[in-house]
Structure 1
């Protein structure tokens, strides 16, 4: 088995599609198809079912974790041999949808100016998807909105605690009136939404209506347009509230405290590029280092 064949196999397995894998790798589809067939012939076994996409066979399921680990070790060896005090190379960062709109552009801009030789990329997605990418070494680190990670391979490097507030248009008189409107929130599974639902349940507020947005800026704009209300970080709306564009309501602290973590895989090499990125986060935001 050649490492490039394993890289193609991993891409097809994770994407579930020859087309998507070819796009991700920058190959033509026929080349990807041929290399998969070649790998199957070499191993004398079928690795994929080819109906409704590319689905791993039981043998393919067995091979995938080995392929991920082998490719990770090869990539880490390359990083280690080419690492220096001057940050260079690839640095792939992920961020939850709500985090990506909050302070992150400033962090990325500051880092890019300081270390222009680093090939910095950003992926925004749900917390579950980001954790999956961390576990499969597709990201070097990620900002996620979660307070617990059941996988021991996940290392929490930094944590940022903030206060959430209920926001509405300025015309809303009280919190009960606000809660009668549709809630502009992220999709199911968002920790902020979980906190909100726990509070609403405690208050006996039922028949909650949702309009789902996975972008904090769109949520805030929707609230200012009186499309509904939302539950967001106070730091994200202070300038709008000062200008009288929206109103905020406080709720009990057991429901309004939110934590954002910067995480990585425990086996990810701490290159100078990643170390300097963590330093940049600490220097530019209220994130705090977690003792390990």
Structure 2
């Protein structure tokens, strides 16, 4: 087993089994949040797995029964105040998640237990399949922070669960549990926590052998409606949003970015998403919501995520 990153910081660990499957584990207690250290370590672990001849396929999971609670919101304040350098535009969303993980020549499966929220779910969605436990919680709650999903969520969630459901999940910030996620197509199988890793290992090898589909979710089209129907759904969502939250702009930005992907394709829309995320992070709305959410995350849930 090898570790990527300092033991004092968030990191990932990689362990290669006799079956040729590399299990990459996110380690950043208490909820395996995606600090910049973790994301850099994740890329390093992937690069190692892709270079090693003894690795055939990859499983991504989180330590101690939690996949990942998402991007560490404690970093938002530092970025907003200019104390923490924001990653270069598109580095995480495009270079790490899309061009390294999703485009990898070795298949990967996300093994999801506990939380897969925000960036955590976005990491899971770039894998070529997802296995979850019944109690796992999967969602994109970024709009509560005055933001939009920034690691590809506006593009991949609609392609996995359909436009109407993805809009509902993003605009209301509500998570779904394992069985509903299976019905929606967000995960491919639901198993007990005891079976999770072994099932994911077998699934990854089945993808490699073409016994299971090798799916890049960014390019799935079977759940996306025709352009005319999609625009009707998006316009209905806009009208509802204006009625319910007339003073908030970021939900409308989220809808616009989703539409961008449907009209002009998902890859260009990823960069639009990154640009909008960076802009919203510095907005007055996000700066006002961030302290409230940070306080709420610590006091109510005893952890910090999104």
Band the TM-score falls in, shorter-chain normalisation = under 0.3
Higher relative contact order (CA 8 A, sep 6+): 1
Q: TM-score, normalised by structure 2?
A: 0.25
Larger-gyration structure (1/2): 1
Q: TM-score, normalised by structure 1?
A: 0.26
Counting helix residues as a fraction of each chain, which structure ranks higher?
2
